[in-house]
Structure formats: structure tokens, C-alpha cells
Amino acid sequence: MAKRDYYEILGVGRIANEDEIKKAYRELAKKYHPDLHPGDKAMEARFKEINEAYEVLKDPKKREQYDRFGSAVFEPGFEGARRTYTYPPGGAVNFEDLGFDFGGMEDIFGDIFGKRARARKGPLKGEDVEYVLEVGFEQAIHGTEVRLTINGEKITVKIPAGVKDGSRVRVAGKGKGGVLGGPPGDLYIVTKIKPHQYFRREDDDIYLDVPITITEAVLGTKVHIPTIDGEALLVIPAGTQSGQKLRLKGKGAPHIKDKGRGDQYVIIKIVTPKDLDEKSQRLLQEFQRLNPYDPRENMGW
């Protein structure tokens, strides 16, 4: 029985260029690959036929020979290159064993079968799945549990204390189902942390801006401030400068891969009053007269 025309097998015209042939092959290979149709002998035969056609038409020299002499040029007894094509039983093929020079085969099958362009025998693990989850700032610090619906299944996921933007929490066996009885993939929760009203985070340290008055900065004071563990009393020493950083040790976020916690840093912001009355202005002028000081004196300007 005469073989079908290779152009007809790939569904392209005889003047099709290399890109058109490759595109047609890619689409047909995805559709007819035996791993997607285990045990289907007709699909096996179709896939073999598609590969045979592509092996010839993608090679300019072989294509020229085929256009002149037909597929007989590749049969035993015909002058020129001899090629035999075999296909093992069981629905699985090692492309390298076929004797084909597939060239860019890994690119073609990379999106379906992974980095190696090879159909494998036996069960295959299912694909991993990523799920982006928005988590509150304090929930990320203290940890929380969330209820999700994944692949139609309701599951409870524990988010550990200390997660940050981009942290990945693995939930084993909750990804896509396996192939041919293989195990399911895993679910990865990727955390996206909501911004806080007044806290901000850098690594495992937490920062808080605290405004104080000129008088408090000069004389020193004690102020109540928030921390992630509740309210704390902060001692501000006399002579504190604007922008000065005070540390509360161990009041930051937990180290997710280690014991201990980061620190909380308080950034002092001296806030000056506006619209002073005349008496207050005179008092400040008198203060400056009694305490002459030029903060720019040693700047070297």
C-alpha cells in the first residue's frame, strides 16, 4: 500500500516554508501524542506517520529528494539515504531511539512534557499549582489559617508566622492530578502582604514613625506607641534629633526559617507648631538668645 503524501499528513501545501511545517507538526504532535491516548493503537500509528513526515520535510535535502522521487527514495534498495522507522509497543517512545535528528524537539514539547522532549513510560506526577493569596500585615506576622477552594476541593491552609511578600507555602498533593495513575502535584501558596496603616517592614524588622514636639525632643519624654504585640512605653531621651532611630529589640517579625525575631525601629519625627501667636514667638526668640546655637556651623559650607 502506497504511503500517504507527507504534505497531506502535516496538512500543509507543497510550497510551505520551514516555519509553517514546524507549526503544523507542533499542533499535530500535541494532539496525537500517545501519552495523551494510552493504549490507542490508531493514535500510535498516526503519531508515527506525523513524525515520519516531519523528519523528511524539515530537512531541505531530504525534502528535495522526496519532491523528486517520493517516499521510495528512503526505502531499502533505493539509491541514497536509507531510513527505517520503528515504534515500540506500549504507547511510549524515546525520540532519540527513533534515529531522528529532531533538532528543536525540546522546544516543541517543552510546554507539554517538561524540559526533556521525551514521552515516558509509566505514571507521571501531576503539575504543581501556584495560588496568590493576599494576607493582612499582622496575619503575616503572627501566622493564620485560611480556607481555600482548590480544584473544587475545600482545604484549610496554615500560613506560618513571619511570611513576607513572595513567600511560598507548600501544600503537598494538592496540585493537578497525575497522569496514568501518577501522584498529584503540589500546591504553592504565594503570599502577597497588604500594607499596614502605620507599620512598614524591611526583612524581619518593623519600622514606625513617631511624631514628637520640639519640647519633648529637647527635654525628653515617655510616649505610648503601638507594636505588633500591643502597646509599649517608649523612653525618648533628652536632646533627641529628628530622624533618630530608637530600637525595640525582639519586637519585629518572626524569622520564618530560624528561631527569634527581628526588631522594631522607631523613627523620630520632630513636628514644629504652625501659626504661633506673638507671645510664643517672643519666647522662642528669647530661648534662642539664651541658647545661641548654629547647627550649620561645622558643615564646611
Single pTM value for the model: 0.56
Fold category of 200-287 in CATH:
HSP40/DNAj peptide-binding domain (2.60.260)
* All cell numbers assigned to 241: 534629633
Position 84 scores a pLDDT of 35
Neighbouring residues of 84: CB distance < 8 A, sequence distance ≥ 6: 76, 99
CA distance 56 to 72: 12
Choosing among 3.40.50.300, 2.120.10.80, 2.60.260.20, 3.50.50.60, the CATH entry for 129-193 is: 2.60.260.20
Position 258 scores a pLDDT of 84
CA distance 299 to 301: 6
Position 261 scores a pLDDT of 95
- Where exactly are the structural domains of the chain? 6-113, 129-193, 200-287
CA distance 196 to 82: 71
**Cα angle: 94, vertex 97, 101; to 5 degrees:** 100
Same fold, 129-193 and 200-287: yes
Question: Running along the chain, 301 residues long, what does each successive block of 10 average in pLDDT?
Answer: 80 89 90 84 90 91 85 64 39 42 48 47 84 94 92 90 93 89 91 95 96 94 95 95 95 91 96 91 92 82 72
- Do residues 197 and 138 make contact, with C-beta atoms less than 8 angstroms apart? no
Position 99 scores a pLDDT of 43
CA distance 41 to 110: 25
Position 121 scores a pLDDT of 55
**In terms of DSSP H, where are the helices of the chain?**
6-10, 18-32, 41-57, 60-69, 105-113, 137-142, 214-219, 278-290
Q: What is the number of other CB atoms lying within 10 angstroms of the CB of residue 221?
A: 16
222: β partners = 235
Position 98 scores a pLDDT of 41
Position 4 scores a pLDDT of 79
Q: How far is CA 93 from CA 34, 45, 120, 130, 267, in A?
A: 8, 12, 7, 31, 65
CATH architecture of 6-113: Orthogonal Bundle (1.10)
Position 109 scores a pLDDT of 52
Position 223 scores a pLDDT of 96
